[in-house]
Structure 1
Amino acid sequence: MRRRSVLILAAVGLAAIGVGMAPWTLADDHATRQISKYVNALTGLRLEVRGAVTLAVLPAPRIKFDDIVLSTADGATQVVARQLRGQLQLAPLLSGRFVLADAALVDPVARAGDARISGERIWSGLLAQFAGIYRRASSGAPHLNRLTVIGGTVTDAGGERPLAGNINATLAWSSPDAALSLSGNAIFSGQPVQFSLGGLTPRAIAGGGDTDLTVRLASEPLNIDLRGALTDGGRRFDGKTRLTAASISRMDEWLDLRLPLTGVATALAIDATCSLTARGMALTSATVDINDSVLEGALSLRGVENGWSLGGTLATDDLDLSQAPGLARQLGAVMTSPERWRAWDIDLRVSAGRLQLPDAPTVSNAAASLLLRNGRLEAVLGMAETLGGRVKGRMTIIPASSNGVEIRAQASGDSLAASQLSTWLSGSERISGNLSGAFTLETRGATMAELRLRLDGRGHAQMGEGELSGISLTDLASQKNGPVELAKMRGKTRFSSLRANWSLTGGHVMIDEALIQGAAGNLRLAGSMDADGVLALDGDLTTGAGPEAAKQAARFQLSGPWQAPIITPRLPAADSAEPRSP
C-alpha cells in the first residue's frame, strides 16, 4: 500500500474517532421518548426534557439531557435537575434503542413528602417501590446498574425550604437478584453527614422474605450503626444498634428534637438489641452510657401525632450527674416554656444504687420516674436514702390556661442526720440528731421572677434528742452586750425535743413557731426570712424551772443572712422602762 493511501486511511480513521467522541445534538425526540419510558418503568415518574439532548458514541456510548423535570402522573413536580446523563448499553443502541446502563443526576432538587404523612405510610411506600422495581427488572425491563447524584438538594414538600444540600451519593445494584448498596455524603442542618446502606435485597422484599440490612450514619453530633435483618417483607427490622452523641444538647439542636433537660448528660451512648417497625422502635438488653455512668434495661421510641413517645425502665449501680452542664438553667427554661416539651410523651423509670446530682448530697437506693403527657410533667422520687435517712418527693408542672406554668411540689424526710444537713446547707455542723419533716410548695408564672414572687407553701420539722453546737442557752441567757455573730459564740446545748412550723407566702418564709426544749431551758423563735435569705426572728429563752424561770428569761433578736446571723439582746419591757421621779 502506498504511503499516500496509509495517510488517507489514518486521517479518515481519526476523523471517524473524532466524530464518535464529539457530542451530537439530537434534533428529534426519539431518544427522549425511549428514555422517558425507561424512567417511568423504573420509578413511576414522568421525564420531561426542557433543554438540549446530546449523544456521543466514543469511548463509550453516552447521552445527556439538559434541564429535566421528573413528575408524578398527576403532574406534581418531584425532581428538577440541571442535567441527566448516562452511559448507554451498546447492544440495544446498535438496533436503534436507547437503554441506560447507569445514570447520573447533576444538581437535582427533590421535594420531600408531606410532613403530615405518617412514617408508616412513607415506609410502606418505599417497600412498594422496591418490590415494584424488582418485579419490573425481573420481568425483562431494562436494568439500571448504578445511579449517581451529584450536588443534590432536598427541600420541603412546597419546594421552599431546603432540608439537606450538597448531596453526593451512589446507588449500586448489579442485577435484579443482587443486593443493592447506597453510600454518600451530604450537608444536613449545617452539619456534614456520611451515610451508607447495604445488604438490602429487593427480591426478598418483593417475595415477603428476609434480607440483611446494615445502615450507618456518621456526623459530629450523632452516629448511628444498625446491623441486622429486615423480615416480613421489610416490615420489621431485628438486629443490633449503636447510637453515640458527644453532646446531647448539640444533637437536640441539630435535629430539633425539643428534648427536655438535655443538660442532664454531656455524652450519650446506647448499645441494644433493636426491633424496628413503621410504628416505632423497641430497644431490649440496652446499655446506656451517660457521662460514664452505665444503665441497663429497655427503651421504646415511636412517633405520635405531634412528636415522639419515649418509654423505658433503666437501672444502674452508680449514676453521676454532678457535672451535668447547665442543668439548673435548663430546668428553669423548661419550667417557664412548656411548649418546648409538648412534642414529647415520656414514661421513664430509673433506679440507681447511687445518685449524684449537681450541688446536692449523694442519694442511695433511689427510684425515680419521669412522666410527661399532654404537656403535663410529673417527676417522682420514690423512697431513697440520703443524709443518713430516707426522703421522697414529687413535682408537677402544668401549663397554665393563660400563660406560663403552675408548679406543685411536695417532699418529706425521715430520720435525717441534722448534722449532715446543716453541714451541706451552711458549711458547718450547727445541730445534731435525727430530723423528720415535710413541706408542700406551689407557684405559677411565666418567668422565674414571677414564680419566685408567687411561691406559697407550708412545712414542719421535728426532732427528738439532739444537740446545738456553738450555742449555750445558759450563756445566751446571760448575754447582755451588744450584737454578736452567732458563728463566734461557743458552747453546746443538749435538748430533748425540737419542733418547727413555717409557711411561705410570696417568696417570704414565716416561722410560725420554732420550739427547742431541754434541761437547760426552752427556746422559742418566731419571725420571718425574706426571699434573699435574710432573717428577722424574735427569740424568747427561759432557763431554770418553776417560779425562778421568769427571773432567768432572756429575749433577743436573730437577724442578718441565714448563713451568718447576728444575735442582739433585748431587755424585758420592765427593765427597759425609764425610772420614775420620786
Structure 2
Amino acid sequence: MTRRAAILAFSLVVTIGLLGLQSWDVALGRVQRSAIRAIEERTGFVVKAIERAEFALLPLPRISLSQVAFTQRDGALAGEAVRVKAHLRLLPLFSGRISFDRVDLVAPRIDVAAPAGSDGITEWLSPALAEFEQLQSQSKIVVSSGSVFLRADGAIQSVVRDLNLVIDERDRNEPLSLSGSLSWRGVPTEVNLLWPMAGGNAKAALSATSPLLKLRFEGNRSGPGEAVISGPLVLSTPSLPKLLGWFGEKSRLGSALGAVAISSEIQVKAREVSFNSAIVNLDGERLDGAIKLAETGGRFALSGTLAGATLDLGRLVDRLPVPAVNAADTTPFDLDAWTSRDIDLRISVDAARLKGARLSDVATYLLIKKGRFETGLLRASAYGGNVKTRLLAIGTPAGVDVKIQAGLDKVNIGQAASDLPQLARLSGTAGVQLALDGIGRTFDELLGSFTGRVNLAARQGEIGGIAFAELLRRAERSPAQALRDWRQGKTPFETISANAGIAGGILALTEAQMTGQNYRFNLAGSALLRSRTLDMTALLTSPNGALKLPFVLKGPVDAPVFELETEAFLSPAGATLLTR
C-alpha cells in the first residue's frame, strides 16, 4: 500500500470512528423525520407524504425520499416528486445534526396557484417567489425533468415542461439565482435569473434564449416600497407575431411586423414598462425614440414616438390581414379584433416606401381606442408635391362608421411613374382630393352607403396610348381611316379637371374635361362602388366644335373597355354628327 493510500484509509477510519462516537440515533424513522424537518427549513417546502426513505453514508452522506408530496407554507405552490435526494453536509454529522447543501427534485410535478384572471408569467410566479423571500436560508435546489402547471380557479392556464433548473444556495437577503432550461408551449428555452429578495437597491438580471427570443437584462431593483426595476435591455426575435403568439397574444396589428430587435434603457413599475432611449430595428430598419407599455383599466396600452431614416410602410401594410374590398363578402366587420389594445404611436422618417411609391419627410400615426381605429399620414412629400391621408373607423350600433380622406397636391406624375408602373402612360403635375363617409356592417352595406366627393386636377402633361389630335385629323379626312391604329401615340394636355359626387354608393361625374391645343375631351357618367364598374360616355371635339367623336367607357374598374362608338359616326346619321 502506498503512503497516500494509507493516509486516505486512516482518515476514513477516523471519520467513521468519529461518527460512531456520536449519540444520534441512525434509526430510519428518526433520520426520516430529521431529514424532512431540514428539507422544510432549507427549501420552504412542507412535506405532506412520502412512500419510502433511504439513508446512506457512503460514498457521500445522502437521504433519498420516494414519491414525495409537498407544498409551500402559503399553498401557492404544491406538487409531488418521484424522488427527493438530500445531500448531507459532512461536518454537521460529527455533532449529530442533519444539514443539507443540496436538494434534488427528480421528475417533480408542480402546481402553481395563479390569481384568477391573471395571464402573465410574472403574476403566476410572484406568490412562489414571495415564499422563497421569507426563508432564513435556502439550500441549493436542483430540479430535473420537471413539469409546472399554472392554475387559476382550478383550471390549467399554462404548462411548463422539461424543466431542468438549478437554484443556487443562498442566505437570507441574498438574491435568488437560478439557471436552466425548460419547454413552454413547445419552444425550448434557456433561462438565467438573478432576483433580489430584499428591499433597497440590489442587482437584478435576466437572460432567455429560444428560437423565438433572445433577451438580456442587467440592472437594479430599487426599494423599499413599490419596486422599480431599471437597466439596459436587449431583446430580439425573428418574428414578432410568432413571439406574441408564444405568449398567448393574438394581434392583428402585430402581424405587420417581422424581425424585431430592441435595445433600450427600461424602467419597470407596477403595470408599466418604459423603454427610454430605445433603438428599434424593424427588419433591419432603425427607429429611435421612446415607448411605453401600460395596463389601464384592464386594457393593455402602447404609446410611443419613434424617428428614423427609412421605413417600408408598404411592407407593413401588406402583412396585415386586411380583407379585400368585395361587396360579395357578407362577413360582418370585426372592429373589436382591431381595437383590442390601446395604441398611440407616432413615427417620423426621412424616407419611406408605400406600395412602390417613394415618400420623404414622412410623419405617420396610429391611434386606437376600444371601438375606434384611426391612422394616416400627417405629412409626406412625394415627387415634388405633398400627400396627406386619414382613415377613421368607429363602431356604432348600426355598424362601422368609416371616414376616408386623402389629398395629393402638385405631384409630378412623370417622376412617380418611374416607381409606379400603372402610371407609365401619364405625365404632368396633378392633385387629388378625396372624402368618403359611410356606415355598414359588411362591405356591401358600407359601399352602398358611401357619400362624399372626388376632385382631380392636372396640368401640362401627356397621356400615352392614344393621340386625340391625330385621331381628329384622320376622322376629318376619312371616318373609316380613324378606326385604324388609333390606340397609338401620345396626347399632350394643358389641363385636366374632374369633379364627382358620391351618394348611395354611386359616383357621378358632375364635370370632367381634358383640353389640349387641338382638341377638347369631355367625360360623363357614373361608377358603381359596389360592383366597381364604370358606365360612362365621352366626346372628343375639335377646337371649333365642328368635329365630334363619341366614346364609351364601360366595364370593371381594373380593366374597362374604352372604345369609339363606330356606329354613331360611320352611319349616315353619324355623318351629320361629324360635321355638326
With the shorter chain as reference, the TM-score category is 0.7 to 0.9
Contact 1:43 1:129 in 2 (8 A): no
**1:436-458 Cα distance to aligned partner (Å, 9 max, x none):** 32232545445xx6578557343
SS of equivalent to 1:299: strand
**Equivalent position of 2:382 in the other structure:** 386
**Equivalent position of 1:349 in the other structure:** 346
Q: Report how many aligned residue pairs link the two structures.
A: 539
**Equivalent position of 1:409 in the other structure:** 404
User: Is 1:243 paired with 2:235?
Assistant: yes
Question: Relative to 1, partners in 2 of residues 1:201 and 1:71: Cα closer, same or farther, differing over 3 Å?
Answer: closer
Task: Quote how far apart the aligned CAs of 1:282 are.
Answer: 0.8
**1:352-409 Cα distance to aligned partner (Å, 9 max, x none):** 111113x241111111111122242211310211243111111123446488x55432
**Equivalent position of 2:540 in the other structure:** 541
Which runs of structure 2 are paired with 1:512-531 in the superposition (5 Å)? Answer: 512-529=510-527
Cα distance in 2, alignment partners of residues 325 and 165 from structure 1: 37
Larger displacement relative to structure 2 (165-174 or 62-71): 62-71
**Equivalent position of 1:132 in the other structure:** 134
**Equivalent position of 1:66 in the other structure:** 66
Which runs of structure 2 are paired with 1:363-374 in the superposition (5 Å)? Answer: 363-374=359-370
SS of equivalent to 2:244: helix
User: Is 1:114 paired with 2:115?
Assistant: yes
Cα distance in 1, alignment partners of residues 171 and 484 from structure 2: 89
Larger displacement relative to structure 2 (489-498 or 449-458): 449-458
Which runs of structure 2 are paired with 1:78-117 in the superposition (5 Å)? Answer: 78-93=78-93, 97-112=97-112, 113-117=114-118
Question: Relative to 1, partners in 2 of residues 1:475 and 1:563: Cα closer, same or farther, differing over 3 Å?
Answer: farther
Cα distance in 2, alignment partners of residues 154 and 450 from structure 1: 50
Cα distance in 1, alignment partners of residues 554 and 444 from structure 2: 26
User: Is 1:460 paired with 2:451?
Assistant: no
Contact 1:248 1:267 in 2 (8 A): yes
Amino acid at match of 1:567: E
Q: In structure 2, list runs of 5 or more residues that go unmatched.
A: 1-12, 21-25, 326-330
SS of equivalent to 1:209: coil
Cα distance in 2, alignment partners of residues 285 and 473 from structure 1: 59
Cα distance in 2, alignment partners of residues 65 and 59 from structure 1: 18
**Equivalent position of 1:5 in the other structure:** none
Task: Quote how far apart the aligned CAs of 1:271 are.
Answer: 0.6
Cα distance in 2, alignment partners of residues 534 and 89 from structure 1: 87
Cα distance in 1, alignment partners of residues 319 and 171 from structure 2: 54
Larger displacement relative to structure 2 (275-284 or 123-132): 123-132
TM-score by length of 1: 0.80
Contact 1:258 1:341 in 2 (8 A): no
User: Is 1:313 paired with 2:308?
Assistant: no
Contact 2:500 2:507 in 1 (8 A): no
Which runs of structure 2 are paired with 1:35-434 in the superposition (5 Å)? Answer: 35-42=35-42, 45-71=45-71, 78-93=78-93, 97-112=97-112, 113-117=114-118, 125=127, 128-133=130-135, 136-137=136-137, 143-144=138-139, 146-157=140-151, 158=154, 160=156, 162-176=158-172, 179-198=175-194, 200-202=195-197, 205=198, 208-233=199-224, 235-304=227-296, 306=298, 308-324=300-316, 326-329=318-321, 336-357=333-354, 359-399=355-395, 401=397, 405-420=400-415, 424=420, 426-434=422-430
Question: Relative to 1, partners in 2 of residues 1:322 and 1:402: Cα closer, same or farther, differing over 3 Å?
Answer: closer
Cα distance in 2, alignment partners of residues 351 and 486 from structure 1: 49
Question: Relative to 1, partners in 2 of residues 1:75 and 1:465: Cα closer, same or farther, differing over 3 Å?
Answer: closer
Task: Quote how far apart the aligned CAs of 1:176 are.
Answer: 4.3
Contact 2:104 2:141 in 1 (8 A): yes
Contact 1:148 1:168 in 2 (8 A): yes
Question: Relative to 1, partners in 2 of residues 1:483 and 1:324: Cα closer, same or farther, differing over 3 Å?
Answer: farther
**1:480-530 Cα distance to aligned partner (Å, 9 max, x none):** 449969982324243345233153755x65444312345534322122445
Amino acid at match of 1:210: N
Contact 1:355 1:366 in 2 (8 A): yes
**1:333-353 Cα distance to aligned partner (Å, 9 max, x none):** 999544444542211110011
Cα distance in 2, alignment partners of residues 474 and 432 from structure 1: 18
**1:91-117 Cα distance to aligned partner (Å, 9 max, x none):** 444555443321011222222312525
Contact 1:170 1:182 in 2 (8 A): yes
**Equivalent position of 1:3 in the other structure:** none
**Equivalent position of 2:549 in the other structure:** 554
Larger displacement relative to structure 2 (212-221 or 230-239): 230-239
Amino acid at match of 2:104: A
Cα distance in 1, alignment partners of residues 143 and 209 from structure 2: 19
Amino acid at match of 2:407: S
SS of equivalent to 1:60: coil
Contact 2:288 2:307 in 1 (8 A): yes
Amino acid at match of 2:553: L
Contact 2:79 2:111 in 1 (8 A): yes
Task: Quote how far apart the aligned CAs of 1:258 are.
Answer: 1.9
Contact 1:487 1:564 in 2 (8 A): no
Contact 1:502 1:513 in 2 (8 A): no
Cα distance in 1, alignment partners of residues 484 and 438 from structure 2: 34
Contact 2:241 2:254 in 1 (8 A): yes
SS of equivalent to 1:262: helix
Task: Quote how far apart the aligned CAs of 1:280 are.
Answer: 1.9
SS of equivalent to 1:156: strand
Cα distance in 1, alignment partners of residues 347 and 397 from structure 2: 31
Identity within the alignment, %: 22
SS of equivalent to 2:357: coil
Cα distance in 2, alignment partners of residues 209 and 220 from structure 1: 36
Cα distance in 2, alignment partners of residues 328 and 504 from structure 1: 30
Cα distance in 1, alignment partners of residues 275 and 527 from structure 2: 50
Cα distance in 1, alignment partners of residues 104 and 160 from structure 2: 19
Cα distance in 2, alignment partners of residues 318 and 544 from structure 1: 49
Cα distance in 1, alignment partners of residues 157 and 123 from structure 2: 22
Amino acid at match of 2:412: A
**Equivalent position of 2:9 in the other structure:** none
Cα distance in 2, alignment partners of residues 529 and 496 from structure 1: 23
Task: Quote how far apart the aligned CAs of 1:428 are.
Answer: 1.9
**Equivalent position of 2:6 in the other structure:** none
Contact 1:36 1:48 in 2 (8 A): no
Task: Quote how far apart the aligned CAs of 1:42 are.
Answer: 4.8
Amino acid at match of 1:408: K
Cα distance in 1, alignment partners of residues 518 and 147 from structure 2: 83
Cα distance in 1, alignment partners of residues 229 and 358 from structure 2: 41
Cα distance in 2, alignment partners of residues 444 and 356 from structure 1: 31
Cα distance in 2, alignment partners of residues 279 and 486 from structure 1: 71
